Amino acid sequence: MKKKEKGFTLIEVLIVMVILGILAALVGPRMFGKVGKSKQKAAKSQIALFETSLDAYRLDMGRYPTGEEGLQALRKKPDADDSENWDGPYLAKEIPLDPWGTPYVYVYPGEHGEYDIISLGADKNTGGEGEDTDIASWKDIEK
């Protein structure tokens, strides 16, 4: 008697590949749509961290960093005359880029508050909709 060989036939392998392809086509677009939202939430979280650090800076210095000093004043002591009260660094790590690889925009004095912090979104330009929407310290993320 011959032993029956074990394994999959070419037809069985092709059927499994077709099923996996169909699943990927159905599930993939839904998952990639969530990537943009998660980047927006990450940007909003980083902005909230900057806000907390800026408040600590203000408690020590009596003011927020100027537009020229920018967010870098949270990491290294500014050259200003009033910098003897600086008790930083106020952030444990270097100032990160936004989730799309662009530096955050810090504006002092701000148009919408004492300061404004902005991520320009996926398009890296002001304005936009969807993933291209600017994430700002004064705005909530659209649901």
Q: How many CB atoms lie within 10 A of CB 38?
A: 10
Decide if pLDDT at 58 tops 90: yes
Whole-number pLDDT of residue 81: 75
Q: Residue 10 has which token pair?
A: 């070419």
3-32 confidence digits (pLDDT tens): 666 777 888 889 999 999 888 888 777 766
Of 69, 59, 47, the C-alpha closest to 113 is 47
78-114 confidence digits (pLDDT tens): 887 777 888 879 998 999 999 999 999 999 988 988 9
135 three-state secondary structure: strand
Q: Across residues 33-44, what is the average pLDDT?
A: 81
Residue 3 sits at φ, ψ, to 5 deg, of -80, 140
Predicted model pTM: 0.72
141 three-state secondary structure: coil
Of 88, 100, 19, 29, the C-alpha closest to 59 is 88
Of 76, 83, 78, 74, the C-alpha closest to 53 is 74
Rounded Cα–Cα distance for residues 126 and 76 (Å): 28
Q: In what side-by-side order are the strands of the sheet with 105-107? A: 105-107, 116-119, 135-136
- What domains appear along the chain, each with residue ranges and CATH number? 36-136 (3.30.700.10)
